[in-house]
Amino acid sequence: MLEVRGLTIRTGAETLVEDLSLSLAEGSLTCLIGPSGCGKSSVVKWLAGVLAPELQAKGDALIDGSTAIFPHRDIAYQPQQDTLFPWLTAAENACLGLEIGGMERRAARDRVDALFPTFGLEGHEESFPDQLSGGMRQRAAFLRTIVQDARVLLLDEPFSALDAVTRLCMQDWLVARLAERPRAVLMVTHDLYEATQMADRVLVMAGGPGRIIADIPISTPSAERSETALAEIRSSLKLMLLKEIP
């Protein structure tokens, strides 16, 4: 449903990302992995329409075959930094995407409140971001993104600040929600376990300039994947990444 063709991102004379193409199908979770600085976040920011103004981007994007301009109402984005507004409470922050999308404040609040326990945030609805731990802030930012009914989710390291168990719970929760309501998800991660457990496709990027060097489908449904099969994929991903680290 979403297609990117020939994306190049430059800053002055330096090319950060070169001629990158990818497509995201509805009902698919694609993980984008690659060494630090290879351009993963820049690609996602371009799709979210929040690329820094000093960067120049050229490329085409299509949603359902029609040219798309970003930001786009079908796309919800969770940045790498949680970017919660410090003057809003956790619940107000979580409601923001819904309200910007036109939902009435009470309805947005009801929808968000129902998910606070699942996200381990119950009792913190009225807390301000500086009263929450890093992991709680990240879960509030994830909630703000996922609660929107956007058809495309862009998640930039959404679980990086979470403890191991909470991270597993959030991963399972997301996979289960996507099974109920298919969307197209592009998720940046450095965690090869996360990528192989969740994704049905892993795109590997290399740097200098950023480009996709491998496109690895994982066809077995997430719940049925054997540890042996995943270990094999992880080990080949690791070898690819090791070659890319200077």
Ligand X SMILES: Nc1ncnc2c1ncn2[C@@H]1O[C@H](COP(=O)(O)OP(=O)(O)OP(=O)(O)O)[C@@H](O)[C@H]1O
Tokens of 113: 């409140």
At 92, list the tokens.
């107000």
Residue selected from 42, 78, 189, 222 as contacting ligand X according to rule CB under 6 A: 42
Q: 133 near 151, Cβ under 8 Å?
A: no
**Total residues in contact with ligand X, by rule CB under 6 A:** 14
Q: Which two tokens stand for residue 148?
A: 């929107």
One residue of 28, 30, 41, 148 binding ligand X per CB under 6 A: 41
Minimum Å gap between C-beta 39 and ligand X is: 4
55 or 240: whose CB is closer to ligand X? 55
Among 31, 39, 140, 206, binds ligand X (CB under 6 A): 39
- Residues in a beta bridge with 60: 5
Footprint (CB under 6 A) of ligand X, residues 48-77: 52, 54-55
| Distance (Å, whole) CA 113 – CA 117 | 8
Concatenate the DSSP letters of all residues of 198-245 into one string. H-SEEEEEETTTBEEEEEEE--S-GGG--HHHHHHHHHHHHHHHHHH-
| DSSP per-residue codes, 131-165 | GS-HHHHHHHHHHHHHTS--SEEEEESTTTTS-HH
**Whole-number minimum distance, CB 153 to ligand X, in Å?**
17
> Checking DSSP bridges between strand 201-206 and strand 28-33, what pairing results, if any?
parallel
219 binds ligand X (CB under 6 A): no
From 36, 66, 226, 228, residue interacting with ligand X (rule: CB under 6 A): 36
66-67 vs 75-78, strand pairing mode: unpaired
Going residue by residue from 77 to 96, which x/- string records binding to ligand X, judged by CB under 6 A?
---x----------------
Q: Contacting ligand X (CB under 6 A), which of 40, 109, 201, 211?
A: 40
Near ligand X by CB under 6 A: residue from 7, 22, 31, 38: 38
3-state secondary structure of 81: coil
139 or 211: CB nearest ligand X: 211
The residues binding ligand X (CB under 6 A) are 11, 16, 34, 36-42, 52, 54-55, 80
